[in-house]
Structure 1
Amino acid sequence: MNGPDWRAALDASGVLRRLARFDPRVAGTFPLGLAVPGSDIDVLCHAPDADAFAAALWAGCGDFDGFAMWQWQWQGLGQKADRPVIASFSVAGVPFEIFGEARPVREQDGWRHFSVEKRLLRLGGEDLREAVMNARRQGAKTEPAFAWVLGLKGDPYRAMLDLAELDDAGLLEVLKVKGSPGG
């Protein structure tokens, strides 16, 4: 699932070009090499105007297989209430999820999770990747899989955001202290 199929589907979709004005960034399990059957391509977007973003999604992606779009009331961790717009669909049999919210992508929880997971995998090496993949194969979502492998307590999404605040030296300490396979 981590090979060229997802990249070919991403290219075929034209999503990055179609949504270019919303700073689309691919995140999640595919670029991390942690996809399992059923994983989707996650694209995070900066959508300060939810209506304009929704219109762009309809215009650019509305003809894709299984297209669905919704907006929900959401309170990000430590953030004011927001109404992200989410769309899902498939291209070449690969599921996509597009997420747009008012915060710039680099500040979004999903991007911060992705960034720290990428750093942890770089620092923890193949042993950490395999341990996380084993948890993923057993049905765990990505953040809970990392939290379990690292022995983090409490809400795994909050715990991963806390790790995102650490520099690489701090992450190495977490890997070492938690006795993870990468430490």
Structure 2
Amino acid sequence: MNASKSRAALLEFLDYLARKGLMNKTTALSRKAAVNNVLGILDEEEADDVSILDLDDAMMRFRNVYGMKYTPDSLSTYKSRVKSSIEDFLSYRENPMAFKVGRPTSGKKAVDRHKSGESRTSELVAKQLPFTVERATPSASPTILPIPLRADLIIYIQGLPYNLTSSEASKIANVVKAMAVED
């Protein structure tokens, strides 16, 4: 396997995991598709070393170019898959003999079975799961919406909530109208 930390070496690593049975083939293919798509926006120089990649920046660029083709949930999943792939790849590069594929956390409780048949939450998983408070209202969309205004001008809107109401859209439109100059 290639010893570099390039995008190509990362893709080769994902193939290796599937081929050797170290990762479910479907999972490896899903990760590979995400890596191909997201890191496909990088030029060759940027793709030479994924260990120094700013994933947030790469995701923003991917979202700006292809965001309209993906839902916010899909973009989040892509980011998670790319991040996990890079982390596993770098862990393998650091120490191939001690490497174990990272286990994705889905937020579901892991259950251990005791001899008596009772189930309990695994202490290990409970320690690994972050404590978060879910919002009652949906957060703002990370999608940046391009709006062609004129032949030579495109504006961008960001931060609209997923559940934007008609009256809220009217408020936004009124703010924009207030900024307009007479024709």
Class of the TM-score when normalised by the shorter of the 2 chains: under 0.3
TM-score, normalised to structure 1, is 0.23
TM-score, normalised to structure 2, is 0.23
Higher strand share: 1
